[in-house]
Chain A
Amino acid sequence: MSATAVSNSRRPRGPVPNALTSGQLPRLVELYTLIGSLAVSAAVLAMTGFSVVGWLVLAAVVYLVGIGILSTVVENRRKATDRVVRGLVTIAFLLALVPLISTLITVVMGGAPSLTWDFITKTGGSVFDPKTLKVTVVQGAWQAIVGTLIITGIASLISIPIGIMAAIYLVEYAQPKQWMARTVTFLVDVMTGIPSIVAGLFAFSLFTLLVGPKAFSGISAAIALSVLMIPIVIRSTEEMLKLVSDDLREASYALGVTKFATIVRIVLPTAIAGIITGVMLAISRVIGETAPIFIAASFTDNFNANPFNGPMQTLPVMAYSGYKFPSQDIASSYQSAWGAALLLVLLVVILNLIARVVAKVFAPRGLR
């Protein structure tokens, strides 16, 4: 989308004197201004004391002011605003990139050393040497990987269909003034506010009623996560479905396609990219939960792949407990905590990739 081509041929509007003759800044003016502001800021800071952060911040301010004035003088105010906003948006982006990349680097740097094949495929735990009475910790995350996949998997199996179907109900079926639609919209709002610890307590209490006091299990943790996940799925899916143009639906009906087929064949595929983004957000949100898992699935160092019986370990819990309850060898505990955190991030990356492939398969063919 090239704005320059359009703006050359734009027609004047408002108080602009004459667009055809008003000045134009050279093409690379933004680059020059940027270099200029970096230099000026460096010079200023050289006098007061240099720091990288201060330099970048000052340079950004100088740049925005500079390009604004320059463009106002040579071009006009509207163009100046445009350039300033472009600068602001780009700065916002760069600004946000700093913590984001910093987080990723922290996780990767922290986790990479412990990320060996053994760490991934071995069940962690400890071995006891009866001769020396020494307990040695064996690093391993397999039990946590399995636990995470099972618990999040079950939560997703419950939440995604319910969430998407409920969103379909809200967008496609419900009459907006209907009490049920209003109530559900309202309730979804409220549900986003359930604290995760409360979700855990709720699920655990529910299972205590069902199976007795020793209710720690993967499934009860999964229910807790579902409670957290459903509103996110509904919210994002609802937004995406709303964006599907009514013309598509009407065109479909006009061809005599049923409502069901229209939704499944036209509406959902059109919105699939957005829906999957939302679903992945929801999964990402709950896969890293710790509090509800502690409460509903308790904690274990043992391998347990049966979600219906006994405590299960997950990666976020492993990361958290490695930090909060380090063993005597604090460094190695932290190491495995970071390892678990990195594994979790990698796991989500893989899930994201799979989701994107799925989106591609289901997206409408044609204009790829």
Chain B
Amino acid sequence: MKFNKAAAMSAIALASVLALTACSGDGGAKSSGTPAASTSDAAVDYSSLSGTITAGGSSAQANVQQAWTTAFQAQASNVKINYDKSQGSGGGVTNWLNGSYDFAGTDAALSADQFSQAKQTCGPDGGVDIPVYLSGVSIVYKLDGVKKLNLDAKTIASIFSGKITSWNDPAIAALNKGATLPSTPISVVHRSDGSGTTANFTTYLHQQQPSIWTWDAGTTWPNNVGSGQQGGSGVVNTVEAGNGTIGYADQSSIGDATAASVEVGDTGKFVDYSEAAATESLTQSGTIAPQGAGDLTVTIDTTKINNAKAYPIPLLSYDVLCKTFKDSAQGKLTAAYLGFIVSKTGQQIGAKNAGAAPLPESFLSKAAKTLASVK
């Protein structure tokens, strides 16, 4: 046990130092296209770690966690990581607050209430939010004969609030000059389950078009428009199965579905999702607003996104963990894994295997610093 602790401690120290140097050394380059692993990261030796990490939460992180887990376990063969994606963000945080999880994945940072509750679970140091996964909400549609579609926030808000009901509506036509739009009625498809994707999407609508989208942002679909489907896969399937359908989903779950290009603000520039565009989006719209020491809660204001390099609807997901674990070996192990996630390699693995966008460098270095302080 003692040996494990010492080993784990040195490993995490090494990991964080390397992660920091890797980040700072790399400057502003965000390319994730190079196939070779970053050499500095690969040098971190996780092989002496052992133990089991029990975690769960956000289903948006399902794919990316699987990739990270596999990659981490490949280097630390004595470590088992169980990430339960079925729990959802709420379930993850609840289980974490009950002490069932070492860390929880959540699409929303801890609320003030949860943040103070964490002090009971974790001791006086409480918990911290670490942003780990960045993606975007895609607007998927299926409309026979229309392969390319441009939409702006106003039109999206009108469609999803039931104010625009047919595809040849002048508002859509104005954005898609040259395209022949049929008079097919629009079938809106939304999530029927509570979801972080819905929260991010409604936040976007609420921030951009409060006069059209009169509902608050939230995890459940607020209005009585369209058909509710379970899960991102349910939405994508239903959109794909119909004609004239439109829905929203985390871009990592859209598969072969066609996604619309979304206009950035009023710039007249329509942007498709790409990893670089999502990273840029968070750089422009995200501000770190710590709830406590080391905490990395990010507030996103999508109205700040103002150039064509950024995708307008970002989706950010966190992992939360205690700053001080009851069992410090477990703490080191968990921090080592999360340290791996926020390392450059970790982010690249996410990009390659789950379409995740690497987080901006400034976020990653702060995350590594916080994780280094986890005991």
Binding site for B on A (CB under 8 A): 125-128, 130-135, 208, 212-216, 294, 298-302, 310-311, 317, 320-321, 323-328, 330-331
Contacts and interface: CB of A to CB of B under 8 A. Distances in A.
A326 B82 contact: no
A12 B116 CA distance: 86
Interface in B196-231: 230-231
Interface residues of B, number: 43
Contact of B230 (A208, A212, A311, A324): A324
Nearest to B230: A324
Interface string B34-69: 011100001000000000101010010011001101
A326 B233 contact: yes
B266 to A, nearest CB: 34
B36 A131 contact: yes
A135 B353 contact: yes
Given A214-B100, A321-B85, A128 B70 contact: yes
4 nearest CB pairs, A to B: A213-B99, A128-B74, A299-B84, A330-B255
27 contacts: A128-B71, A128-B74, A128-B349, A130-B71, A130-B75, A132-B352, A133-B345, A133-B348, A133-B352, A133-B353, A135-B66, A135-B70, A135-B349, A135-B352, A135-B353, A215-B100, A216-B82, A299-B83, A299-B85, A310-B52, A323-B233, A324-B231, A324-B233, A328-B354, A330-B233, A330-B253, A331-B255
A302 B70 CA distance: 10
Interface of B: 35-37, 42, 52, 54, 56, 59, 62-63, 66-67, 69-71, 73-75, 80, 82-87, 98-100, 230-231, 233-234, 252-253, 255-256, 345, 348-349, 352-355
Given A216-B54, A325-B233, A326-B233, A301 B84 contact: no
A235 B87 CA distance: 33
Contacts of A325: 59, 62-63, 85-86, 231, 233
B87 A213 contact: no
Contact of B100 (A126, A216, A294, A324): A216
Contact of A130 (B42, B62, B255, B256): B42
Dominant SS at the B interface? helix
A215 B101 CA distance: 10
A135 B71 contact: yes
B82 A299 contact: yes
Nearest to B34: A133
Given A126-B67, A311-B82, 18 more contacts: A125-B70, A130-B42, A131-B36, A133-B348, A135-B66, A208-B98, A299-B82, A299-B85, A300-B84, A301-B66, A301-B69, A310-B80, A321-B85, A324-B59, A324-B86, A325-B86, A328-B255, A328-B353
Nearest to A331: B255
A326 B253 contact: yes
A213 B54 CA distance: 11
A86 to B, nearest CB: 40
Contact of A294 (B63, B87, B233, B355): B87
A328 B252 contact: yes
Contacts of B354: 328
Nearest to B55: A298
Contacts of B355: 328
Contact of B349 (A133, A215, A294, A317): A133
Given A128-B71, A298-B56, A326-B255, A133 B63 contact: no
Given A327-B66, A328-B354, A310 B82 contact: yes
Contacts of B73: 128
Nearest to A290: B86
Contacts of A328: 63, 252, 255, 353-355
